[in-house]
Amino acid sequence: MPVGGRVKNVSVKQASSSNRHRQDIFGPHDGLCIALYCMIVSPNLDRRPCDSVSIVVSLDAAHSMIALPVEAPVFHVGGNPGVTGTDSAPRGRPVHEEWGYAERAWYLEKRQGFTGVLRALLWPTEGVVEVGFHESIWAERTQKPPVEAFRFQISEVGYRSLRSYLRATIASEEPVGVVGNSRFCIARSSYHLFHHCHHYTAKGLREAGLPISMRVALTRNGFAKQLRRIMPV
């Protein structure tokens, strides 16, 4: 049912899924990623009447994100309007709700470099979950090639399971950072070698019913190969 297409210069692939498969993911050599939080439905991000929902996974050289349809009602975090509300999104235009995960020190505090890589890889550190509302998906905005985008049609049950997983990754609803149209909240799980942005995204896809192995998603290339593999011929 899905058809392959292109998003600007980004290759977009589509697939259908329904059954859930389970298994286990990274490293800041892949990059430290960003993350997202909220609830949402927009008629604009291809919600199909035949019981399937369109989601998009974006990968660049160091980061992965999941884009969902913007859904109503939209909830505010910690009583702060705009944390997960549409007031931070461009008005009058279709928007995407994107979720991701990152190390707080690297992404928000900019404690990067070689020592930052060692810290993020070797010691569990505080993670943040991001939710952002944008006119375009991450694959169209990032400046770090190679860039790929994968579109999947998932069941309504898988979609609700994915949303439940994403909401459950938030430890505190009080935002600790704002970057553009994205708000960041403390994550329940620490950031480390075996729990990073690709791990976060892969777990979400498994919850949605896609046959993703988190162990193979340890690196960006391993994760991308899995996503290509589950595409129909």
Q: In the prediction, which pLDDT does 112 show? A: 80
How deeply is 152 buried, as exposed, middle or buried, from its count of CB atoms within 10 A (0-12, 13-18, 19+)? buried
Question: Per DSSP, which regions of 26-123 are E strands?
Answer: 47-48, 52-59, 64-69, 96-103
Comparison of pLDDT for 231 and 51, the residue scoring more? 51
CA distance 35 to 208: 17
Q: Is a pLDDT exceeding 60 seen at residue 155?
A: yes
Q: By C-alpha distance, which of 217, 200, 15, 168 is closest to 102? A: 200
pLDDT digits (tens, 9 = 90+) for 38-96: 333 333 444 444 589 999 999 999 899 999 998 754 444 333 444 444 334 445 465 89
Could you tell me which residue, 110 or 80, shows the higher pLDDT? 110
Q: Are strands 148-155 and 10-17 parallel, antiparallel or unpaired?
A: parallel
Pick 114 or 138 by higher pLDDT: 138
**Most confident by average pLDDT, 18-27, 113-122, 123-132:** 123-132
Residue 118: its pLDDT value, please?
74
What ranges do the domains of the chain cover? Answer: 5-229
H or E stretch covering 186: strand 182-187
pLDDT score for 3: 33
How far apart are alpha carbons 54 and 180 in whole angstroms? Answer: 25
What pLDDT score does 159 carry? Answer: 97
